[in-house]
Amino acid sequence: LGQCKGPHTHPPHVTPKLQRPPLSRQFLTFGPQDGLPPVNPVLLDYAQRLSEEIVARAVQQWAEVDRRYVDIPYIECDVP
């Protein structure tokens, strides 16, 4: 087996077997061209409930931290 001596490059006369075609717009778009692709209502409902749960947990965490440290005065900067 040969040793690797740097980045993988191919001599000019050798073409790699696996070449990816350049990325084009046709690979970036999908669904109907006249509007948004259809959304599964079950997935949409799940995403809505999940986002509401995340927000509720964040607010609860903020309230707990605020309650815990409410007695500590806020010092903006102690260096003149």
Furthest C-alpha separation in the chain: 75
> Does residue 61 lie in a domain region?
yes
Q: Which two tokens stand for residue 42?
A: 């079950």
> Does residue 56 lie in a domain region?
yes
> Does residue 77 lie in a domain region?
no
> Does residue 2 lie in a domain region?
no
Whether the Cβ atoms of residue 30 and residue 37 lie closer than 8 Å to each other: yes
> Does residue 16 lie in a domain region?
no
More confident residue, 47 or 17: 47
> Does residue 55 lie in a domain region?
yes
Expressed as residue numbers, the domain containing 46 is 38-70
Q: How many domains does the chain have?
A: 1
* b/e per residue 32-41 (b: at least 16 CB within 10 A): eeeeeeeeee
* pLDDT tens sequence across 24-56: 554 555 555 667 788 899 999 999 999 999 999
